[in-house]
């Protein structure tokens, strides 16, 4: 087996360095399989554009904790048209879904890669809320995305009401209200984080439903799952497909 011309062209067009070069000498068969599958068969399976693919790939690599490959993908994503602000926002929003304990190393990698690219930091601020406005803005954000059923969610939950409030003012008020990504893109990134980490299928199905309701339709989600499959493997990809399929059925019943 040899690496196909299509795989070579794609990799050389977007990656400054071969992300799997350490495999070339010691694991040549796997090196060829991975290159041909990821950079030819998968990328040429559908019409998802490079920018969207790399946005989803970055969110997925954070979700599955693929930090070494994430470092290779950041400069490639920039070359594919993902802006520095978008890279940052994808990484920031992951804090909601993975926690700072798992995202902090990725923030450091982004800063290292930006420095290597000559990108000045910090980037222009993207926050639109203040400590005084984040709660109301977060609630409105939830209502805009999920519907009127989220009104006054902050006051529900009994003994755990504080967590519901944090979901409103921190998760949505601090992060979702930021500029740099729109709601449709943020929901797509959330779908990728959840699919990649696994074990959160109830939340994944809920966000698949919200994606479909907000313009990322079922066939589009299948494309996203397909493009992320090499990064997270078949079990989590099949779980994501099942969740998307069940979400599609629920939307059609409404």
Q: How confident is the model over 28-53, as pLDDT tens digits? A: 999 999 999 999 999 999 999 999 99
Q: Tens digit of pLDDT for each residue in 219-233? A: 999 999 999 999 999
Tokens 């479909």 belong to 212
CB 214 within 8 A of CB 183: yes
The average pLDDT across 203-221 equals 97
What's the confidence (pLDDT) of residue 31?
A: 97
Q: Tell which residue, 66, 117, 110, has the closest CA to residue 92.
A: 110
- Reported as a single tens digit per residue, the pLDDT across 142-154 is 999 999 999 999 9
Q: Which pLDDT belongs to residue 254?
A: 85
Report the pLDDT averaged over residues 180-193.
98
Arithmetic mean of pLDDT, 202-214: 97
**How would you label 176-187 residue by residue, b for 16+ Cβ within 10 Å and e otherwise?**
bbbebbeeebbb
Residue 222: C-alpha distances to residues 45, 59, 161, 211, 243 (Å):
11, 16, 36, 12, 11
State residue 251's pLDDT score: 96
**pLDDT number for residue 1:** 64
Is-contact 60 69, C-beta < 8 A? no
Work out the pLDDT band at 127, boundaries 50, 70, 90.
Answer: very high
| Residue carrying the six token digits 């439903």 | 209
Q: Quick one: three-class SS letters along 29-89?
A: HHHHHHHHHHHHHHCCCCCCCHHHHHHHHHHHHHHCCCHHHHHHHHHHHHHCCCCHHHHHH
Q: Does 196 have pLDDT greater than 90?
A: yes
Average pLDDT of span 67-81: 98
Q: In terms of C-beta density within 10 A (0-12 exposed, 13-18 middle, 19 or more buried), how is residue 234 classed?
A: exposed
How high does pLDDT run on average in the chain? 97
Distance CA 219, CA 75 (A): 28
In the chain, which ranges are continuous DSSP H helix?
Answer: 5-14, 21-26, 28-36, 50-63, 67-79, 84-98, 100-116, 134-146, 161-166, 183-197, 201-213, 218-232, 234-253
Residue-wise pLDDT for 78-109, tens only, equals 999 999 999 999 999 999 999 999 999 999 99
* pLDDT for 11 beyond 90: yes
* pLDDT mean over 199-223: 97
């Amino acid at each position: 087996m040899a690496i196909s011309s299509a795989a070579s062209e794609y990799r050389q067009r977007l990656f400054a360095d071969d992300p799997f070069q350490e495999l070339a000498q010691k694991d040549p068969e796997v090196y060829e399989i991975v290159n041909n599958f990821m950079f030819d068969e998968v990328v040429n399976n559908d019409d998802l554009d490079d920018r969207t693919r790399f946005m989803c790939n970055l969110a997925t690599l954070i979700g599955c904790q693929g930090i070494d490959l994430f470092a290779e993908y950041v400069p490639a994503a920039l070359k594919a048209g993902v802006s520095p602000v978008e890279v940052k926002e994808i990484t920031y929003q992951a804090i909601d879904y993975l926690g700072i304990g798992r995202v902090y190393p990725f923030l450091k990698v982004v800063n290292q890669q930006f420095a290597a690219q000559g990108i000045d930091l910090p980037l222009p601020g993207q926050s639109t809320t203040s400590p005084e406005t984040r709660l109301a803005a977060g609630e409105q954000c939830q209502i805009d995305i999920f519907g009127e059923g989220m009104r006054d969610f902050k006051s529900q939950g009994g003994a755990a009401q504080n967590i519901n409030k944090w979901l409103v003012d921190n998760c949505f008020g601090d992060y979702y209200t930021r500029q740099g990504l729109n709601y449709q893109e943020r929901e797509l990134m959330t779908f990728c984080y959840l699919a990649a980490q696994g074990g959160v299928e109830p939340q994944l199905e809920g966000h698949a439903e919200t994606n479909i309701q907000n313009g990322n339709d079922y066939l589009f989600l299948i494309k996203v799952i397909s493009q992320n499959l090499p990064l997270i493997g078949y079990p989590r990809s099949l779980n994501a497909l099942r969740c998307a399929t069940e979400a599609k059925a629920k939307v059609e019943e409404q």
